Structure 1
Amino acid sequence: MISVLPQAVSSAPTIAPEKTRQTTRKPYPKYKIIVLNDDFNTFQHVAECLVKYIPGMVSDRAWDLTNQIHHEGQAVVWVGPLEQAELYHSQLNRAGLTMAPLEQA
Structure 2
Amino acid sequence: MTSSAPSRQTAGSTLLERAPYPNFKVVVLNDEVNTFQHVVDCLVKYIPAMDPDRAWSLAQQIDSDGQAVVWVGPQEQAELYHMQLGAEGLTMAPLERA
Provide the rounded CA distance (Å) in 1 between the counterparts of 2:29 and 2:10.
57
| CA-based RMSD | 1.7
Gaps of 5+ in 2: 1-8
Aligned with 2:53 (options 53, 60, 80): 60
TM-score, normalised by the number of residues in structure 2: 0.87
Distance 1:92 1:18, change over 3 A: closer
Distance 1:21 1:47, change over 3 A: same
Aligned with 2:44 (options 35, 41, 51): 51
Give the C-alpha shift of residue 21 in structure 1. 2.7
TM-score, normalised by the number of residues in structure 1: 0.81
Gaps of 5+ in 1: 1-15
Match in the other structure for 1:11: none
Aligned pairs, number: 90
User: What is the correspondence of 1:4-15 to structure 2 with a 5 Å cutoff?
Assistant: none
Tell me which structure has the larger Cα radius of gyration.
1
Give the C-alpha shift of residue 19 in structure 1. 5.8
Provide the rounded CA distance (Å) in 2 between the counterparts of 1:104 and 1:76.
12
- Find runs of 4+ consecutive structure 1 residues off by over 6 angstroms: none
